[in-house]
Amino acid sequence: QKEVEQNSGPLSVPEGAIASLNCTYSDRVSQSFFWYRQYSGKSPELIMSIYSNGDKEDGRFTAQLNKASQYVSLLIRDSQPSDSATYLCAVNWNGNQFYFGTGTSLTVIP
């Protein structure tokens, strides 16, 4: 059984702080990893994708992947109230199926 686990939160950070979101996965042959943001009542939207070990930065977002330890994380710098949402971690196996974590709820306090 392939599993993707996230801390459900809620995670609260003050405006301007760094938010750190973590995700672990069970299968060592996992190939690609994605972070989605989902506002309440809306569909998920892609924030970051990462495929190789290390860090990948895009604006205020940094994704970190460690395949040996089977975790992927998302850092949000200078957090804004508009970042308040649920963040979903997704893992792709063999290009066919995507498995999602249950999501971490983030609240940025003004």
Q: Which positions touch another protein (CB under 8 A)?
A: 4, 8, 31-32, 34, 42-46, 49, 51, 88, 90, 92, 94-103
Per-residue tokens: 45: 């939207």
Closest to another protein by CB, 84 or 103: 103
Closest to another protein by CB, 53 or 102: 102
Closest to another protein by CB, 52 or 80: 52
Q: CA–CA distance from 84 to each of 5, 95, 107 (Å)? A: 20, 30, 5
CB 36 within 8 A of CB 43: no
